[in-house]
Protein backbone atom coordinates (compact mmCIF):
# COMPACT_ATOMS: atom_id res chain seq x y z
CA UNK A 1 0.00 0.00 0.00
CA UNK A 2 1.29 3.47 -0.91
CA UNK A 3 0.51 6.37 1.38
CA UNK A 4 0.87 9.88 -0.06
CA UNK A 5 3.46 8.56 -2.53
CA UNK A 6 6.01 8.81 0.25
CA UNK A 7 7.93 6.30 2.31
CA UNK A 8 5.35 5.94 5.11
CA UNK A 9 4.54 2.23 4.74
CA UNK A 10 4.44 0.12 7.86
CA UNK A 11 6.99 -2.70 7.95
CA UNK A 12 5.01 -5.94 7.81
CA UNK A 13 7.61 -8.58 7.00
CA UNK A 14 8.76 -11.33 9.36
CA UNK A 15 10.94 -13.34 6.98
CA UNK A 16 14.66 -12.83 6.37
CA UNK A 17 14.83 -10.73 3.21
CA UNK A 18 17.18 -11.27 0.29
CA UNK A 19 17.81 -8.40 -2.14
CA UNK A 20 17.57 -9.45 -5.77
CA UNK A 21 19.16 -7.08 -8.25
CA UNK A 22 18.00 -7.82 -11.79
CA UNK A 23 16.92 -6.30 -15.06
CA UNK A 24 13.80 -4.34 -15.94
CA UNK A 25 13.97 -6.38 -19.16
CA UNK A 26 13.95 -10.16 -19.55
CA UNK A 27 16.89 -10.47 -21.94
CA UNK A 28 17.12 -12.22 -25.29
CA UNK A 29 17.36 -15.83 -24.08
CA UNK A 30 14.68 -17.85 -22.26
CA UNK A 31 17.22 -19.12 -19.73
CA UNK A 32 17.37 -15.72 -18.01
CA UNK A 33 13.65 -15.65 -17.26
CA UNK A 34 13.59 -19.35 -16.38
CA UNK A 35 16.51 -18.97 -13.98
CA UNK A 36 14.95 -15.93 -12.29
CA UNK A 37 11.71 -17.84 -11.71
CA UNK A 38 13.55 -20.89 -10.36
CA UNK A 39 15.64 -18.77 -8.00
CA UNK A 40 12.58 -16.94 -6.68
CA UNK A 41 10.72 -20.23 -6.18
CA UNK A 42 13.67 -21.75 -4.36
CA UNK A 43 14.21 -18.77 -2.09
CA UNK A 44 10.52 -18.71 -1.18
CA UNK A 45 10.59 -22.44 -0.47
CA UNK A 46 13.60 -21.86 1.80
CA UNK A 47 11.46 -19.31 3.68
CA UNK A 48 13.28 -16.20 2.52
CA UNK A 49 11.45 -13.02 1.59
CA UNK A 50 12.30 -10.59 -1.20
CA UNK A 51 13.37 -6.97 -1.27
CA UNK A 52 13.78 -5.52 -4.77
CA UNK A 53 13.27 -2.47 -6.95
CA UNK A 54 9.47 -2.47 -6.84
CA UNK A 55 8.69 -2.77 -10.56
CA UNK A 56 6.20 -5.08 -12.26
CA UNK A 57 8.20 -5.42 -15.50
CA UNK A 58 11.16 -7.48 -16.69
CA UNK A 59 12.97 -9.94 -14.46
CA UNK A 60 12.16 -7.64 -11.53
CA UNK A 61 8.44 -8.11 -12.00
CA UNK A 62 8.76 -11.83 -12.59
CA UNK A 63 10.69 -12.53 -9.39
CA UNK A 64 8.11 -10.52 -7.44
CA UNK A 65 5.22 -12.38 -9.09
CA UNK A 66 6.87 -15.68 -8.27
CA UNK A 67 7.42 -14.79 -4.63
CA UNK A 68 3.79 -13.68 -4.32
CA UNK A 69 2.55 -16.89 -5.95
CA UNK A 70 4.73 -18.96 -3.59
CA UNK A 71 3.47 -17.11 -0.51
CA UNK A 72 6.75 -15.30 0.19
CA UNK A 73 6.92 -11.84 1.67
CA UNK A 74 7.83 -9.14 -0.81
CA UNK A 75 9.14 -5.61 -0.30
CA UNK A 76 9.41 -3.21 -3.22
CA UNK A 77 11.25 0.12 -3.15
CA UNK A 78 10.78 2.48 -6.09
CA UNK A 79 11.62 6.17 -6.60
CA UNK A 80 8.65 8.40 -7.33
CA UNK A 81 10.15 9.71 -10.58
CA UNK A 82 10.30 6.15 -11.98
CA UNK A 83 6.60 5.41 -11.49
CA UNK A 84 5.65 6.62 -14.96
CA UNK A 85 7.88 4.22 -16.91
CA UNK A 86 8.75 1.44 -14.46
CA UNK A 87 5.27 0.35 -13.43
CA UNK A 88 5.08 -0.24 -9.70
CA UNK A 89 3.95 -3.66 -8.46
CA UNK A 90 0.86 -3.34 -6.26
CA UNK A 91 0.51 -6.93 -5.00
CA UNK A 92 3.44 -6.76 -2.58
CA UNK A 93 3.63 -7.10 1.19
CA UNK A 94 5.12 -3.60 1.27
CA UNK A 95 5.63 -1.00 -1.46
CA UNK A 96 7.76 1.99 -0.53
CA UNK A 97 7.78 5.04 -2.81
CA UNK A 98 10.89 7.11 -2.08
CA UNK A 99 12.25 10.33 -3.53
CA UNK A 100 15.68 9.34 -4.87
CA UNK A 101 17.73 6.42 -6.12
CA UNK A 102 19.99 6.88 -3.11
CA UNK A 103 17.05 6.35 -0.77
CA UNK A 104 15.99 3.30 -2.75
CA UNK A 105 19.40 1.66 -2.53
CA UNK A 106 19.84 2.56 1.13
CA UNK A 107 16.49 1.08 2.13
CA UNK A 108 17.05 -2.09 0.13
CA UNK A 109 20.51 -2.53 1.61
CA UNK A 110 19.26 -1.96 5.14
CA UNK A 111 16.34 -4.40 4.84
CA UNK A 112 18.33 -7.15 3.09
CA UNK A 113 20.34 -9.85 4.85
CA UNK A 114 22.04 -10.88 1.58
CA UNK A 115 22.40 -9.61 -1.99
CA UNK A 116 22.10 -11.57 -5.24
CA UNK A 117 22.66 -10.16 -8.72
CA UNK A 118 20.78 -11.87 -11.52
CA UNK A 119 21.46 -10.77 -15.12
CA UNK A 120 20.66 -7.12 -15.70
CA UNK A 121 21.97 -3.89 -17.13
CA UNK A 122 23.72 -0.79 -15.80
CA UNK A 123 21.52 -0.50 -12.71
CA UNK A 124 22.17 -4.12 -11.72
CA UNK A 125 25.92 -3.74 -12.20
CA UNK A 126 25.95 -0.55 -10.18
CA UNK A 127 23.87 -1.98 -7.32
CA UNK A 128 25.90 -5.15 -6.71
CA UNK A 129 29.23 -3.33 -7.10
CA UNK A 130 28.11 -0.61 -4.71
CA UNK A 131 27.23 -3.08 -1.95
CA UNK A 132 30.54 -4.85 -2.69
CA UNK A 133 32.29 -1.50 -2.18
CA UNK A 134 30.44 -1.01 1.12
CA UNK A 135 31.58 -4.49 2.11
CA UNK A 136 35.19 -3.62 1.29
CA UNK A 137 34.84 -0.56 3.51
CA UNK A 138 33.48 -2.81 6.29
CA UNK A 139 30.10 -1.14 6.34
CA UNK A 140 28.39 -4.55 6.32
CA UNK A 141 29.17 -8.28 6.46
CA UNK A 142 26.29 -9.58 4.37
CA UNK A 143 26.75 -12.21 1.63
CA UNK A 144 27.03 -10.83 -1.91
CA UNK A 145 26.42 -13.21 -4.81
CA UNK A 146 26.76 -13.02 -8.58
CA UNK A 147 24.39 -15.59 -10.07
CA UNK A 148 26.30 -16.34 -13.25
CA UNK A 149 23.41 -17.58 -15.38
CA UNK A 150 24.59 -18.81 -18.80
CA UNK A 151 28.00 -17.24 -18.17
CA UNK A 152 26.41 -13.78 -18.14
CA UNK A 153 28.93 -12.38 -15.66
CA UNK A 154 32.05 -14.02 -17.10
CA UNK A 155 33.44 -10.73 -18.39
CA UNK A 156 32.79 -8.91 -15.11
CA UNK A 157 34.42 -11.74 -13.17
CA UNK A 158 37.45 -11.53 -15.48
CA UNK A 159 37.64 -7.77 -14.91
CA UNK A 160 37.52 -8.21 -11.12
CA UNK A 161 40.28 -10.82 -11.29
CA UNK A 162 42.29 -8.50 -13.53
CA UNK A 163 41.93 -5.74 -10.93
CA UNK A 164 43.37 -8.13 -8.33
CA UNK A 165 46.32 -9.01 -10.56
CA UNK A 166 47.02 -5.35 -11.27
CA UNK A 167 47.02 -4.47 -7.57
CA UNK A 168 43.84 -2.38 -7.42
CA UNK A 169 41.55 -4.86 -5.66
CA UNK A 170 42.79 -6.78 -2.59
CA UNK A 171 42.10 -10.50 -3.06
CA UNK A 172 40.32 -10.78 0.29
CA UNK A 173 37.78 -8.23 -0.90
CA UNK A 174 37.41 -9.89 -4.31
CA UNK A 175 36.64 -13.12 -2.44
CA UNK A 176 33.67 -11.52 -0.69
CA UNK A 177 31.81 -11.35 -4.00
CA UNK A 178 30.70 -14.97 -4.35
CA UNK A 179 30.19 -16.41 -7.84
CA UNK A 180 27.49 -19.09 -8.08
CA UNK A 181 26.75 -21.13 -11.17
CA UNK A 182 24.02 -23.32 -9.63
CA UNK A 183 21.07 -22.71 -7.32
CA UNK A 184 22.37 -25.14 -4.71
CA UNK A 185 25.50 -23.01 -4.34
CA UNK A 186 23.29 -20.01 -3.54
CA UNK A 187 21.27 -21.91 -0.95
CA UNK A 188 24.47 -23.17 0.69
CA UNK A 189 25.78 -19.60 0.99
CA UNK A 190 22.49 -18.36 2.42
CA UNK A 191 22.10 -21.25 4.86
CA UNK A 192 25.24 -20.02 6.59
CA UNK A 193 23.61 -16.67 7.28
CA UNK A 194 24.15 -15.30 10.73
CA UNK A 195 22.49 -12.15 12.05
CA UNK A 196 24.26 -9.55 9.87
CA UNK A 197 25.42 -6.10 10.75
CA UNK A 198 23.31 -3.34 9.30
CA UNK A 199 24.58 -1.36 6.36
CA UNK A 200 25.93 1.96 7.57
CA UNK A 201 25.47 4.82 5.12
CA angle 107, 108, 109 (to 5 degrees): 90
pLDDT at 72: 96
> Alpha helix locations (H) across the chain?
30-45, 58-69, 101-111, 122-136, 154-165, 171-174, 183-191
Label the pairing between strands 144-147 and 177-180: parallel
Parts of the chain with a pLDDT under 70: 1-8, 86, 193-201
Compute CA 21 distance to the chain's CA centroid, rounded to the nearest angstrom. 3
pLDDT at 3: 40
Answer positive or negative: Cα dihedral of 40, 44, 48, 53: positive
In words, the CATH class of domain 1-11+27-112 is alpha beta
The domain segmentation of the chain, as residue ranges, is 1-11+27-112, 125-190
For residue 30, the tally of other CB atoms under 10 A from its CB is 9
Q: Which of 95, 98, 93, 122 is CA-nearest to residue 7?
A: 98
CA distances from 136 to 19, 39, 92, 122, 171 (A): 18, 26, 32, 21, 11
Supply the CATH classification number for the domain 125-190. 3.40.50.450
Q: DSSP 3-state assignment of 139? A: coil
pLDDT at 198: 46
pLDDT at 5: 45
Amino acid sequence: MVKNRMNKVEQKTTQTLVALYCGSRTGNKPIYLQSAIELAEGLAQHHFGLVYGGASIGLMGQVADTFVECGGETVGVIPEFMLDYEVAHHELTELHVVQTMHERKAMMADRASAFIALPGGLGTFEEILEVATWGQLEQHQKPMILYNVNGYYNSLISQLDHAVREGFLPPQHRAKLIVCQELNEIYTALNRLEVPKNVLI
